[in-house]
Amino acid sequence: MTYNNLQIEEEGGILLLTIQREKALNALNQETMRELEHFFGEDAPGRDPLRGIILTGAGSKAFVAGADIKEFLDLDAEAGRRMAKHGQEVFFLIERFTRPVIAAVNGFALGGGCELAMACHLRIAGEHARFGQPEVNLGIIPGFGGTQRLIRYVGRTKGLELLLTGDMIDAQEAHRLGLVNAVVAPGKEVEAARTLLSKIAGKGPVAVAKVIEAVNAVFEDGTDGFSREVEAFGATTGTEDFKEGAAAFIAKRKPDFKGK
């Protein structure tokens, strides 16, 4: 697939994925959503070696300012349902991706942009970043998982306030609420995400994938997360990496994980 709205750069097994719609503050139009679907569903899973993905927005003003409002004019109830369902499916591909995906939030992360950042496993924000779910200002609600993930991250009290008022919060407040992992100087978001990913890249790849799977189970309706953990633990103890990790510990050397 040729991507019109995504730029992909690879360095040392880490992919930097940049949403390239700077003039529209990287708003997610349908074409970009289809491209993200293809990237996370078809393209990235087959890439090897791939230790992780950093997702950011072009320019220094916005990560993503939401779904593309200019495509909203023809929406009716049925088209709205289809749009939300598709958006949620695309963001599940990110949340369930087996390698860590870090959002480098380089400015506004609003509406679908905040939802996109929340679907990533970890978030690094620039000091100038702003987060919010302003959909109520448009007379709609978040449709790409925002009502669910925001509450899970910040709790019902603050989450409901943000969803009902549409207010934006700054990066420090997002950090205080547990929405982001770290706040860095503007322009340093990708570098900080790379440092974090490099640290994770030294760990056992199967273990990393299984941590993501087990943590996702916390929020899956009808899933017993403790049982999922038992299965995931068993899967990791059956790997060559586990033997290597234990042997390296005993020999007091660095493990050389193969992802098997």
Q: Which residues are catalytic?
A: 115, 135
**H or E stretch including 62?**
strand 62-64
For ligand CAA, the closer of residues 87 and 255 by Cβ is 87
Q: Tell whether residue 24 is a contact of ligand CAA (CB under 6 A).
A: yes
Asked if residues 27 and 65 have their Cβ atoms less than 8 Å apart, the reply is yes
Helix (H, G, I), strand (E, B) or coil at 102: strand
For position 58 contacting ligand CAA by CB under 6 A, the verdict is no
Question: By C-beta, is 18 or 239 nearer to ligand CAA?
Answer: 18
Helix (H, G, I), strand (E, B) or coil at 209: helix
Q: Quick one: which H or E segment has residue 234?
A: helix 225-237
Q: Let me know: does 13 contact 48? Beta carbons within 8 Å.
A: no
State the minimum distance, in angstroms, from the CB of residue 69 to ligand CAA: 4
CB 143 → ligand CAA: shortest distance, Å? 4
Under rule CB under 6 A, residue 151 binds ligand CAA: no
Candidates 20-28, 34-42, 118-126, 240-248: pick the segment binding ligand CAA (CB under 6 A).
20-28
Contact stretch for ligand CAA (CB under 6 A) within 21-29, 30-38, 42-50, 242-250: 21-29
Closest CA to 131 of 94, 179, 68: 179
Of 98-106, 143-151, 156-164, 240-248: span binding ligand CAA (CB under 6 A): 143-151
What's the sign of the alpha-carbon dihedral 55, 58, 62, 66? negative
Nearer to ligand CAA among residue 126 and residue 143 (C-beta): 143
Per CB under 6 A, contacts with ligand CAA among 118-137 are 134-135
Rounded distance, CA 257 to CA 241, Å? 5
Q: What is the rounded distance in angstroms from the CA atom of residue 178 to the CA atom of residue 153?
A: 6
Query: What residues make contact with ligand CAA under the rule CB under 6 A?
Result: 24-25, 27, 65-70, 87, 108, 110-112, 115, 134-135, 138, 142-144, 146
